[in-house]
Structure 1
Amino acid sequence: MQTIDRDAATKYEFGRDMKPLLTVDPGESFRVETWDAFEGALFDHGLGEFTADDVPGLQAPPPAFDGNPLAGPVYVEGAERGDTLAVTVEAIRPERGMTTTLEEFGCLVGRSEWEECQVNLAHEVDLEPGPSGTTADGSARMDLGEHEWTWDLNPHIGTIATAPGRTVQDSVTSQGPWGGNMDVRDLDQGSTVYLNSFNEGGLLFVGDVHASQSDSEYTGIAVESIAELVLSVDIVDTPVPGVFRIEDDDAIIHVDSAVNAGSIEDAVNGCFEAMMTELGTDYGVGKREAYVQMSLNPAITVRLYQFVHPGFATVGVKLDKTFLDQFTDTRTP
């Protein structure tokens, strides 16, 4: 199996003029080894208190620090501008995890009653294997304060994108119709994410695996993990409004961001419109039927995946596929 080694997964920008690290055929599985968000710097330094001088990426110039190192690009044979890449996450195995708070970062900046939360302080998160023998279905353990905390892991990809048509984007602040740093916890093992292709070969970039994350990622940092991915890519003609679309055995999710849409309100509304349009196109559901169901049916939920601050938020409208059972015999071929 072709592999991008971890020592090559160190790009903090992505664009169309970068030399592909792999060329794959549609449907071919390939392996990607990824770094945590700080390229191992905090593991090397030792967790606990640290300064910006201890993490080289924090000293990068604006618009953001150097974080979320990416592997890529991956060139997909036959992909053209205007196509859609369907990237399936066949396996995702985090190998080591940590989390941290950062000075002047996150939702509590400027709130004096929470000063102890606004410091550079990192914590180890132990990743325990689950029934599969891997961390794909494992659990987390963390000593914090006076307690030992445990919870189930939900490994997922934080940053995934295709090269834009002209611009070069950074791996921390970019969110657009090419993808970006979206931190969507439903982009997990077994899911397929649909991304717009703006170039020949699609030019896929991926990194920033999280071993677990709550909705909102309120501190701005999840369980940032060194990891191994197995992916495959197909070329399809599924439209991708917003930033991207996710599908797995259980759900369909349309995802957008405040950065891409202009505001969090526009992002949520855009996701609802995308879902209603899909119901009309693929299942023959009338506009009024779809609109009313968005308000009444508990199979429709809204996710706030990322909320680092109000201007940097990622949302999704998620449809449980039980909603579609009544349309099984009427779906448009």
Structure 2
Amino acid sequence: MASNGSSPSAGDTENSLEKIKRQLTSASGRNLLQGPLLKRSETLRKWNERWIILDPTTGKMEYKMRRNEPVVKGTIVFDANSTISMSPVNFHGLPKYDGCCFYIGTPQKKEYFLCAETPGAAKAWVSTLQATQLVLKAHKEAVNSLSGSGSAKLGTVATVVAAANSMALESTKEIEAAMRISMRNALGMVSSRVSEAPMDDLTIMKETLRVKDEELQQLARDIRARDSTIKEIAEKLTETAEAAEAAAAAAHAMDEQRRIACTEIERLVNESQKQLESSMLKLGAYEEKVLALSKEREDILKQRDSAFREAQLWRSELAKARERVVILEGAVVRAEERARVAEADSEAKAKEAMEKDFVATKDREEL
């Protein structure tokens, strides 16, 4: 019975794992939010320009020294419980960065102070980071729901991932606009220093082609980096899927063991019932024997009581006989005493008669 009830739950777990796998796999088409930000160092409190890359579907936020560098310099770690908000205070200090600063604070007391080129870009970063927090929270609730300690639905994960991708796409436009503004400002500063010499069409075309070539090379590097990231995520997803399959196999094994245990318990219950029935039969036989022994004991007790009464009668008769013997012995003693007295009297009388006879004889002789 228990095995029949647990098989559907194992199937539901497998279906849920497959759905999560498909959702995570579909995240390969995600929109990475990247752009320049000023980051304040933790030790020297110095502002450094860094190229920030945020994956809104995984919450991974890395930064490099420059955009073209392949090596990642560091990672900004945050989670669903982190504090991410615009700062009313200009941490940087320059007036052009008013309204461009935002703050990331983690429960582990880790703080990051960042500054964008424009207030719109700063708001775009904050909005995307907050959408990423919703993705992290939904993923956590989905995992908890699979383990039975949460109530999140798989559709929620897909919804927040889609919303985060959409937010990243919109924020990318805002950041690109800020980058163009920054580029124009930088070009304006350079052009003010360069002479106003006119450029011919060929020079303009060459410069345009050079810029486009650099952009294409950068785009190719970004695509390679993205492909590498996608490959890493695919490998991690494969490992996750294998772990999920192993967990499902373990669940099947546990279900089989539970079924075997239930069968064994049912067998033991049947055996115990049979033993109980045989014990009840033996108990009935023992009760009958006890009743018979009780009756026999009562008969023996009655016989003992009658024997006690008869012995008491014999004791009383014996006492009476002993009294008679004592009386007879007293009579015998008295008779013997009288006989001795009579014998003594007869002896005295005989002696007196003999003396009288002797005296008489002597008197006769004297005569």
TM-score (ref. length: structure 2): 0.18
Greater RCO, CA 8 A, separation 6+:
1
Q: Give the strand-richer structure, 1 or 2.
A: 1
Structure with the bigger percentage of helix: 2
